[in-house]
Chain A
Amino acid sequence: MDDIRILAPSDLDTLIAELRERGFRVVGPTLRDETIVTGDIRSASDLPRGIGDIQEAATYRTRQRDDDAYFGFAAPAQSTKPVFFPSEEVVWRGKRDHDQGGHFTAERDTANASPVALLGVRSCDLRAVQIHDQVLAHRQFKDVHYTARRDGTLVIAVACGVPAATCFCASMGTGPRPAATDPQTGQPSYDLLLTEVIDGDTHHFVAEVGTDAGRDIADAVAASKGTAKDQAQAIDITNAAAASQTRAIDRNTVHDVLRASAESSRWEDVANRCLGCTNCTMVCPTCFCTTMSDVSDLAGENAERHRVWDSCFSANFSYIHGGPTRESLKARYRQWITHKLSSWEDQFGMLGCVGCGRCITWCPAGIDITEEAAALGRMSGLGSTASAAST
Chain B
Amino acid sequence: MTDAATHTHADASAGADTPARPKLAVWKFASCDGCQLTILNCEDELLSIAEAVHIAYFPEATRAVVEGPYELSLVEGSITTPEDVERIHEIRAQSGTLVTIGACATAGGIQALRNWADVDEFRSIVYAHPEYLSTLDTSTPIASHVDVDYELRGCPVDKGQLVEVLAAFLNGRKPRIPTYSVCVECKLKGNVCVPVAHGTPCLGPVTQAGCGALCPTYGRGCYGCFGPQDSANTDSLTRQLAELGMSNDDIVRVYRTFNAGAPEFEAASNKVAAGGAS
Residues of chain A touching chain B, judged by Cβ–Cβ distance below 8 Å, are 32-35, 37, 58-61, 77-78, 82, 87-88, 272-279, 282-283, 293-300, 308-309, 311, 314-316, 329, 332, 361-362, 364-365
Contact = CB atoms under 8 A, between A and B. Distances in A.
B171 interface: yes
Nearest to B219: A33
Contact of B190 (A37, A315, A361): A37
A88 to B, nearest CB: 6
B196 A364 contact: yes
B183 interface: yes
A273 B265 CA distance: 17
Contacts of B195: 58, 364
B236 A294 contact: no
A114 to B, nearest CB: 19
Interface stretch (B26-34, B97-105, B106-114, B160-168): B160-168
Interface string B196-233: 11100010111000000000000100000000011111
Contact of B192 (A37, A58, A278): A37
Given A58-B195, A78-B190, A295-B164, 12 more contacts: A77-B192, A88-B188, A272-B235, A275-B205, A277-B205, A278-B187, A298-B49, A298-B51, A298-B166, A298-B167, A311-B180, A329-B233
A123 B171 CA distance: 49
Given A297-B48, A298-B49, A362-B196, A278 B167 contact: no
A276 B233 CA distance: 7
Contacts of A361: 196
B167 A297 contact: yes
Nearest to B191: A33
Contacts of A308: 188
A282 B184 contact: yes
Given A58-B196, A314-B184, A315-B179, A82 B190 contact: yes
B193 A364 contact: yes
A277 B190 contact: no
Given A278-B181, A316-B178, A296 B188 contact: no
B48 A293 contact: no
Main secondary structure of the interface of B (DSSP, over half): helix
A309 B163 CA distance: 22
B48 A298 contact: yes
B184 A278 contact: yes
B170 interface: yes
Contacts of A35: 192, 197
B277 to A, nearest CB: 11
B240 A300 contact: no
20 contacts: A33-B219, A37-B190, A37-B192, A88-B188, A272-B233, A276-B181, A276-B233, A278-B180, A278-B181, A278-B187, A294-B176, A295-B164, A298-B45, A298-B51, A298-B166, A309-B187, A309-B188, A364-B195, A365-B205, A365-B236
> Nearest 3 A-B pairs (CB), nearest first?
A282-B187, A277-B205, A275-B205
A296 B173 contact: yes
Contacts of B204: 277
Given A60-B197, A277-B183, A364 B48 contact: no
A71 to B, nearest CB: 20
B122 to A, nearest CB: 36
A362 B48 CA distance: 42
B246 interface: no
A19 to B, nearest CB: 22
Interface in B70-93: none
Interface residues of B, number: 45
B170 A298 contact: yes
B176 A34 contact: no
A299 B197 contact: no
B45 to A, nearest CB: 7
A59 B171 contact: no
B187 A87 contact: yes
Contacts of B183: 277-279, 282, 364
B52 interface: yes
B44 to A, nearest CB: 11
A88 B233 CA distance: 27
Nearest to A327: B231
A364 B192 contact: no
B237 interface: yes
A308 B205 CA distance: 19
Contacts of B179: 315-316
Contacts of A273: 236
B246 to A, nearest CB: 14
B51 A362 contact: no
A61 B196 CA distance: 8
A87 B187 CA distance: 8
Given A296-B167, A298-B45, A311-B184, A275 B230 contact: no
Nearest to B51: A299
A275 B181 contact: yes
Contacts of B229: 276
Contact of A274 (B52, B188, B233): B233
A33 B197 contact: yes
Nearest to B193: A362
A308 to B, nearest CB: 7
Given A297-B48, A299-B48, A315 B231 contact: yes
B230 A315 contact: yes
Given A311-B180, A316-B180, A364 B202 contact: yes
Given A58-B196, A316-B178, A276 B188 contact: no
A151 B48 CA distance: 41
Contact of B197 (A77, A282, A300, A314): A77
Contacts of A299: 48, 51-52, 170
Nearest to A315: B230
| Most-contacted residue by chain B among A33, A294, A299, A300 (CB, 10 A) | A33
B210 to A, nearest CB: 14
A33 B192 contact: yes
